[in-house]
Amino acid sequence: MIPKFDYLRPKTTEELVGLMAEYGEDAKLLAGGTDLLVLMRDKLIRPRYVIDLKGIGELRGLSWDEKRGLRIGATATLNELLESEVVKERFSVLWSAVGVLADPTLRNRATLVGNICNASPAADTAPALLVLDAEVEVAGKDGERIIPIRDFFTGVKRTSLKPGEFVRAVRIPNPPEGAKGGYYKWGRTRGEDLAVVGVAALVANSGRRIMRVALSSVFKTPLRVFEVEKIFEGEGPLGEQIERAVSVVREKIAPITDVRGGKEYRLHMAGALTRRALEELLGGS
């Protein structure tokens, strides 16, 4: 049984800001509820008020334009992303990450914004957003601000959101011309499970070679390994560059042992998945 709470459903962001200011720590925001309600059922949190965001029209849906790129509203579901031709064609690394997050039923409720606000190190969409240089649109009683996704995650289940702030949307600039990307998820089973290790990679060759890698489940936050990027700016055989990148990734991550996998196993799989991602994406470029 979920402990009793009051359910609130504002219709505007102004109303939402007012409710958050009034109830503070006693209130929790609900998007799809697939993380929140599990924590409430297990009595790990007991909010007195649950504020449902789905009644707020301006938080819904996706939009894209040639100049500004993609904007994903706070209540846009993962299935909306998966069904979008724009996301599939232009933001393939994100599309592939969404496609391996849980299952179609869950993705019908769950949102991308809920996935990043939950701030699990295993969040599947986070590595893709990191390699795409996404930005988080935040609003609250003190106004609005933009947080680069690389500064958004501050620890296990912690973000740089301040009390009274909520995420309005995630913005993603258009990737470089000719970019290709993919998310490589290693789980305990082929079915629904959190990642033992996840690797997102984005490569492009528009004048200079661009190569970005970010990982899930191997650090206290989702992690972009910026040090890898310089390796591919230099000359040298591709095979050697890939092996150096694999070594750098293994140096920078700090996996733990938990129910889903051991530290050594994660270290090994992070290297193996990084190699696979780079060979597949660079091999064909």
Ligand X SMILES: Cc1cc2nc3c(=O)[nH]c(=O)nc-3n(C[C@H](O)[C@H](O)[C@H](O)COP(=O)(O)OP(=O)(O)OC[C@H]3O[C@@H](n4cnc5c(N)ncnc54)[C@H](O)[C@@H]3O)c2cc1C
Q: Which of 82, 106, 256, 272 binds ligand X (CB under 6 A)?
A: 106
Residue 118 in the binding site for ligand X (CB under 6 A): yes
Question: Distance (Å, rounded) from C-alpha 161 to C-alpha 167?
Answer: 8
Residue 278 in the binding site for ligand X (CB under 6 A): no
Residue 282 in the binding site for ligand X (CB under 6 A): no
Q: Which H helix or E strand runs over 107?
A: helix 104-107
Residue nearest to ligand X (CB): 114
Question: Distance (Å, rounded) from C-alpha 152 to C-alpha 242?
Answer: 28
Give the shortest CB-239-to-ligand X separation in angstroms. Answer: 32
Residue count, binding to ligand X (CB under 6 A): 30
Amino acid, res. 232: F
Q: Which of 16, 30, 179, 253 binds ligand X (CB under 6 A)?
A: 30
Which positions from 120 to 159 touch ligand X by CB under 6 A, shown as an x/- string?
A: --xxx-----------------------------------
Q: Which of 13, 34, 92, 96 binds ligand X (CB under 6 A)?
A: 34
Q: Which of 13, 92, 111, 217 binds ligand X (CB under 6 A)?
A: 111
Question: Distance (Å, rounded) from C-alpha 162 to C-alpha 143?
Answer: 12
Residue 131, phi-psi category: left (phi > 0), alpha (psi -120 to 50), beta (remainder): alpha
Which one, 97 or 228, has the nearer CB to ligand X? 97
Residue 33 in the binding site for ligand X (CB under 6 A): yes
Cβ(108)–Cβ(79) below 8 Å: yes
Give the shortest CB-29-to-ligand X separation in angstroms. Answer: 4
Residue 28 in the binding site for ligand X (CB under 6 A): yes
Question: Distance (Å, rounded) from C-alpha 248 to C-alpha 195?
Answer: 21
Helix, coil or strand: residue 29: strand
The contacts of residue 181 (CB under 8 Å, 6+ apart) are 91, 92, 93, 94, 96, 128, 131, 132, 175, 200, 201, 202, 203, 281
Q: Which segment (84-92, 98-106, 200-208, 265-273) binds ligand X by CB under 6 A?
A: 98-106
Chain residues binding ligand X by CB under 6 A are 28-36, 38, 53, 74, 101-102, 106, 109-111, 113-115, 117-118, 122-124, 166-167, 192, 194
